[in-house]
Amino acid sequence: METTTIVFAVIIVALVFEYINGFHDTANSIATVVGTKVLTPRQAIMLAACTNLGGAFTGLAVAKTVAGGLVNPDFINQGVLIGALLGAIIWNLLTWWFGLPSSSTHALVGGLAGAVLAVGVMLSSAGKLTDKDGKPQSLIDTCLVWSGTKDKSSKKLVEPSPEVLAALATQGDEARENGTHRLKIGDKETQVVVFEGRIKQVEETKKVNGEKIGILNKVLIPMFTSPLAGLVGGFLLMSVLYVVLRWMRPVWVNRIFGKLQLASSAYMGWSHGMNDATKTMGIITLALATATAGNLGVPEWMQVAKTPDAYHLSPFAHLVSWLPSWLQFGYMPEPVDFKNPGVPWWVVCICACTMAAGTAAGGWKIIKTMGHKMVKLQPVHGFAAETTAATILYITGSYGMPVSTTHAITTSIMGVGCAKRFSALKLNVVERILWAWVLTIPATAGLSFLFVWLGVKSGIIIMPR
């Protein structure tokens, strides 16, 4: 198969996953607002689609984690990625069919891990999983980025020094180019962000081994802590609201929080797009970076270099640049991270639009489970659950943790239900949901392992090494 063709195949399968992710996880954004009857299902879906689209443009930390922080890229090629995506797609469709709000995020992580482990097992059985000295290597440690640390670099924008401005001026017309400029001042390199005539110097602070990386730290630990945070956060917020609102008549509580829930639902949709849409961007970027590194002849517009273009801007920054200066409010884009491949703007656009389209299609079975079957909700309960879950997603998404939006909102609803009264929870429904959570990563890993193993054995997939 031609290289360009199979790269396009990866992109198409990834977008199919993104679309299914959209309608599978629609309930994450709108189940509570539908369950409380603040909006009709059609109105709620349109709100979720629009806010998902906006969220997908504003945060790419999760995309960078998926693209380079979970599995060994040496064990990845286009065929392996397709096997990983197929496992996640099948699991999403199964859980959607049975109305179970399982995690699309963990389905993708499980699919990636299972696909790469299949390659590792076949290399090991052939005696090829060795280091440079010919010694056998550990399967898990070689195939997966299981755990570890890396230096943490925090950057902030400050006013430029006279020396920096003078060095920037020597670049001539290029000095006005929007983006991150790298300047050599003596024996030191300094970065400067230029945007629509505004100039800021990048002040970088490094902390040795300051950031934990790998599947354990980025996926598995948050897999347990984020639901716990949702449960406790929902319980506490709802308890506070009960105390504050105890003297208010129920009709006024419903009216006030019916309006406030529109804001909390939009916040939830935004955080959902920021977390979920971006993980598929990471998969496509990983495919493009692999094809580029292998000199496989993909078109120039599809190539992704390990060191991104200095003038790479996010689609959101491009949109801001089109606004009149008085509407930009002094906005400055984030400095380019030259150690990670930049996500191409067209990848951001197609993933965001595909997620929004999938969201617009709706996932009625899961909406019914979360909005009606788990616990009976009023607008104040929906507001508390959505605010809690959206805050968890925003924080974890900012740190590049591909956390399950399903886990966050479901446990927030559980916490709100417990604050109402413990008997309000329908434990038989909760039990089904918990089983779906427990099985997601092993099931998708097993499916993807099988697809890749069969693909290699049949000659459809070429071994990466």
User: Is residue 33 predicted with pLDDT exceeding 80?
Assistant: no
The pLDDT score that the predictor gives to residue 173 is 84
Instruction: Give the number of domains in the chain.
Output: 1
Which amino acid is present at 149?
T
Does residue 220 fall inside a structural domain? yes
The pLDDT score that the predictor gives to residue 356 is 78
Does residue 203 fall inside a structural domain? no
The pLDDT score that the predictor gives to residue 28 is 62
Does residue 322 fall inside a structural domain? no
Does residue 85 fall inside a structural domain? yes
The pLDDT score that the predictor gives to residue 1 is 47
Average pLDDT over residues 314-322: 83
Q: Hunting for tokens 């440079």 — which residue is that?
A: 132
pLDDT confidence band for 84 (50 / 70 / 90):
very high
User: Is residue 303 predicted with pLDDT exceeding 70?
Assistant: yes
More confident residue, 395 or 290: 395
Q: Take residue 376 and report the two structure tokens written for it.
A: 């009976």
Average pLDDT over residues 211-226: 84
Does residue 112 fall inside a structural domain? yes
The pLDDT score that the predictor gives to residue 423 is 67
Phi, psi of 188 (to 5 degrees): -120, 140
Average pLDDT over residues 89-94: 90
Average pLDDT over residues 6-35: 80
Q: Take residue 84 and report the two structure tokens written for it.
A: 């990983």
Average pLDDT over residues 361-381: 63
pLDDT confidence band for 174 (50 / 70 / 90):
confident
Does residue 232 fall inside a structural domain? yes
Average pLDDT over residues 361-378: 59
Average pLDDT over residues 53-73: 73
The pLDDT score that the predictor gives to residue 201 is 93
Least confident of 26-40, 105-119, 139-153, 407-421: 26-40
Contact in structure between 276 and 23 (CB atoms under 8 Å)? no
Does residue 377 fall inside a structural domain? yes
The pLDDT score that the predictor gives to residue 358 is 81
More confident residue, 312 or 114: 114
pLDDT digits (tens, 9 = 90+) for 230-250: 889 999 999 999 999 888 888
Q: What percent of the chain has pLDDT over 90?
A: 20
The pLDDT score that the predictor gives to residue 432 is 67
Average pLDDT over residues 422-449: 78
The pLDDT score that the predictor gives to residue 87 is 95
What is the residue-averaged pLDDT of the chain?
A: 82
More confident residue, 364 or 460: 460
Does residue 259 fall inside a structural domain? yes
| Domain enclosing residue 292, as ranges | 3-147+214-306+341-458
Q: What percent of the chain has pLDDT over 70?
A: 86
Average pLDDT over residues 199-219: 85
Residue 144 pairs with which residues in a beta bridge?
71
SS (H, E, C) the chain: CCHHHHHHHHHHHHHHHHHHHHHHCHHHHHHHHHHCCCCCHHHHHHHHHHHHHHHHCCCCHHHHHHHHCCECHHHCCHHHHHHHHHHHHHHHHHHHHCCCCCCHHHHHHHHHHHHHHHHHHHHHHCCCCECCCCCECCHHHHHECCCEEEEEEEEEEECCCHHHHHHHHCCHHHHHCCEEEEEEECCEEEEEEEECCEEEEEEEEEEEEEEEECHHHHHHHHHHHHHHHHHHHHHHHHHHHHHHCCCCCHHHHHHHHHHHHHHHHHHHHHHHHHHHHHHHHHHHHHHHHHHHHCCCCCCHHHCCCCCCCCCCCCHHHHHHHHCCHHHHCCCCCCCCCCCCCCCCHHHHHHHHHHHHHHHHHCCHHHHHHHHHHCCCCCHHHHHHHHHHHHHHHHHHHHCCCCCCHHHHHHHHHHHHHHHHCHHHCCHHHHHHHHHHHHHHHHHHHHHHHHHHHHHHHHCCCCCCC
Average pLDDT over residues 246-273: 87
The pLDDT score that the predictor gives to residue 178 is 92
The pLDDT score that the predictor gives to residue 375 is 56
